[in-house]
Structure formats: structure tokens, C-alpha cells
Chain A
């Protein structure tokens, strides 16, 4: 029972840390418009380039 309470407290502590980070917009290394644009461009270049080369 004590272990359960201690573990719930630990979960609460970790959740609070993430809530604080989220409220303060302090997530580091988040993906931006550049990342999404980059993955789209990379995918299109590889797909279209491979299609026209190989098909």
C-alpha cells in the first residue's frame, strides 16, 4: 500500500514536470515547419526521382 502511494506520487511528480514544461512552452528540439517541409520535400524527391529513373 505504501509502495503504491509512493509510486503514484512519483507518477504525479513526473506528470507535473511535463505539465510545467508544456505550460511554459519549454519543450526543446520540437519539430517545426522546416522539419515537416523537409520531410515532404525529401519524400517527394526520392519517390519521384526513383519512379522516373526506375519505372
Chain B
């Protein structure tokens, strides 16, 4: 009964807020393919991509073996030489794959999502460094033994006298710096910007190592098949990075000329930015996706922040709803209309692309609401197909709640607002005065949850406990969709 009065009051508020655009909703998606096959197709595509990646590793190992890499081993130096060759081949191959994973390439994002690709990229970091360091040390010790000199003298001679080795050594030093600054303990002590600038050095690191690969790489230089393979791989990765991470966003930014049109306060600590520009529909995003937003002012242009769109893509505007977390998002609450912005994207697979079932449950908490709000607006659904669960601290001060109510009313979706303090320390729901377990309450709110696609968006720990409840309630893992925090 509380909700009813709240809704009325908020509707009244809305009338008084003259600046807030009237709620116009897009036409929901009319058609959507559903069914198990969709999931199988996705898995098949993923298998093909992973197979290709794995094939490159097998290929480089095979070239080493065919060339007599094992047969040449007769003593310690030649064994070290073999180690050096093999680690460099596999290490470089994985390094290029890792770079591709972070290039925000659409054909990777489409099948894995930006989050999964980023996590895979992170996982590869350390193994690559180990391989490259092993390559360096093996070569060094090999030459020290052959020359009969100590390691330091050999290292000095190596760096100063051998073609391209100075550059390659600089590359190695940079790579160590990049990986060490990315380790969890170091990340915590550094600002995102400092880390990011150091991380950019990885491009310099990779480029610095290129000359020695082609001038003295035992498995590349002077071998046509291998040279073609490596040149092609380097160029392919370079093309993807330059095109998708640099050129395309810049071209788009120039064409769209995006600007902030209106700034609307949604609650005490959230604000919506309405962004307009020429030909917004060309961006081609979907509900549930996010963009990297850059505010083009002198102080902030170099920082990009990921935000989900909080309204389905339309021709009029693009809307981001931003919660004040005390960092840059705090400054964004009071940004002036007319400020120029730039977006990179759309990214993410928190969309209907992943939907395989007719029934849908959307679960959001706090500032996790924007993508859920957009999905609720545009999802293909018959009345009653969709259930929305929105967890808020306080129903009087929840962003986009009145919009959610309006959408659910118009489209005949069920909306459950869970407001107030949590039920138990590990519960993701609000207290209801009883001791009912979360999954039991979940099943009451969404009786068909086990055969629904469930989209969950909220803080990491909260999302985790929602997932647990869902699994207990019988929802298969592949029907649970959430974006992982991967920045």
C-alpha cells in the first residue's frame, strides 16, 4: 500500500519537473528467435573461435618440432636454445591473442561479451610474462655457457652488440612493468588512470620486440612459411586494434557530434544524461548494452567510463543514468547541458541476443537498474511474460522507479519492489518480517523462474547471491545472464 501512494506522489512530481522529457517508449521488438538451438549456435561459434586460437599455438609448436627443435638438443646450451625458441613462439602467440581480446573487437564481443574477453585477457597476462622471461633467461644462460663468460658480461654483450636486442630487452622490461602494475595488490594502490597509462606501454613493449623476431628469430627469419604466418598474425592484430579501438570511435565521434542535451536528477544520488547527435540510430546498439562515455572537457577527455544505456535505443536521444560513487561519477551529476561527449561502443551481451526462453525475469539492484529499465522497454514479450524485481534501499529515493512502474503498467509486466534493509546478512532481498529463504520468495514472485531467462544487474556480491538463489530455484546456468565487473 505504501507503493501506491509513492507512485502517485512521484507522478505528481514528474509534472512539476518541466525539464524532464515526457516518457516516450519505443515500439518493443516484434520478433525474436528463441529456443535451445540459439544457445547451441552460440557455443558452436565460441568453439570455433577458441579452436582457431588454439590452432595457432599448435601450429607454432609444430613449426618448431618440424624444424628439428627437439633433435638439435645435444647438450645443455642446445637444450636451453630449444627452450628459448619454444617459449618465445608460444609466448608471442599468446601475447598477440591477449592483445586481440582487449581490442574490443565486435566479433569477439558478440560471442563472449566484453567482460569475458577482458577476464580472459587478464588471465593470460602472467603466463605470457613467464614464457617471455623464460625465453630471455634461456637465451642468456645459453650464450653465457657458450661464451664461457658470466651472466652479466653476457647480458651486456647481448644487449649492446647483437642486432635488435637492445630494443627487445627494453620491450621485456616494459612488459614486466605492465604485468606487475596489473597484479591485484598493485592495482589497489594505483589510480585507474596511472595504471592505464602504464598499461598503454604494452603496445610499445610488443613493438620493441618485433625487430628481433624477424631479424634473428631462429624459427622465423629466413623461413617463408613461418614468416608469412607471423607477419599475418601481427598485422591482423594490429589492424583490429587500430581500427576498432582508435579509428572507428574517432570517426564516429566526428560524425555524430554528440552533446549533452538535458541533465535530469533521478534521485538524491543519480542523474540521467540525455545525449543527442546526428544519426544516433547508426550506432545500432541494443537495450542492455553499454558505451564508454568520454566527457570532452579539458580535464576529463582522456577518461572513459562504462555506462549502460537506461532507455532503449531510439532516434531522439541516448540516455545514461549515472550513480554518484564519489569519483568522476560525482562530477557527472552536475555536468552542464551542451557539453560535448564521445562514446565508444556499443559493447556487451546483456541483451535479448542471449535470450532463449519466452519468460523473462529481470532483477536489478540500485544503480544496476539502467540496462534492466532499457530491456523492459524494448523486450519482445506478451503481457505477463516478464517479471521485474527491483531491489532498492528506499522506494522514495530510487532512480527510474516511476519509469519502471509506468513501463510495467503499460506492458502488463509484474513489478516487485524490494525496499528497505536486507533480510539477513547474506540475503539479496529486503526484510519481509519472516524467515523465508530467498529462493522461496523468488519462486513466489516469479513462479516460472526455472524456465525463464534471468537478467541480473547489480553490485558484484549481490549478483553472486542472486545467482545462488536462482541455481537453487532450478534455473540452469546458461539462462542466467549478468555482466561481470572487468575493468
Chain A bound to chain B: no
B interface residue numbers (CB < 8 A to A): none
